[in-house]
Amino acid sequence: MEGGKEKDAYTKACGIIEMDPSDLKKLGAWRGTNVRVTSKYGNVIVKAVEATQGPHPGLAYIPMGPWANSVVNPNTYSTGMPTFKGTPIEVEIAMNEKVFSSVELVQKKCRGEA
């Protein structure tokens, strides 16, 4: 992404979760709803958007970046690349919670606050 990962455009492009429209409906969410994504590795607040490919009910996608890193296995098995696919998650509406910028999220994670 050009323009820097500390810019608002990066948060708008990567601080999201793409979900099938049927899954958004079941959740009671709509485009731009803040949601909490939780896995056994952690949780993060992102904006829910309709998937750009599909239909794929039951599957979700968070673009690579600090938001995805918050919920995937940190063990890279000596590859240096986390296993982004196949991580079981739960998604719930988090209307009153903030989607942190990449800088805010990394700072909070480093301090153990998020």
* Residue 23: both structure tokens together: 């899954």
Which of 3 and 110 is assigned the larger pLDDT?
Answer: 110
**What is the architecture of the domain spanning 8-111?**
Beta Barrel (2.40)
- Residue holding tokens 């301090």? 111
Which of 76 and 48 is assigned the larger pLDDT?
Answer: 48
Region label for 3, one of left (φ > 0), alpha (ψ between -120 and 50) or beta (otherwise) = left
pLDDT digit string (tens) for 52-89? 898 899 999 999 999 999 999 988 888 888 888 889 99
pTM for this entry: 0.90
pLDDT grade for 101, boundaries at 50, 70 and 90: very high
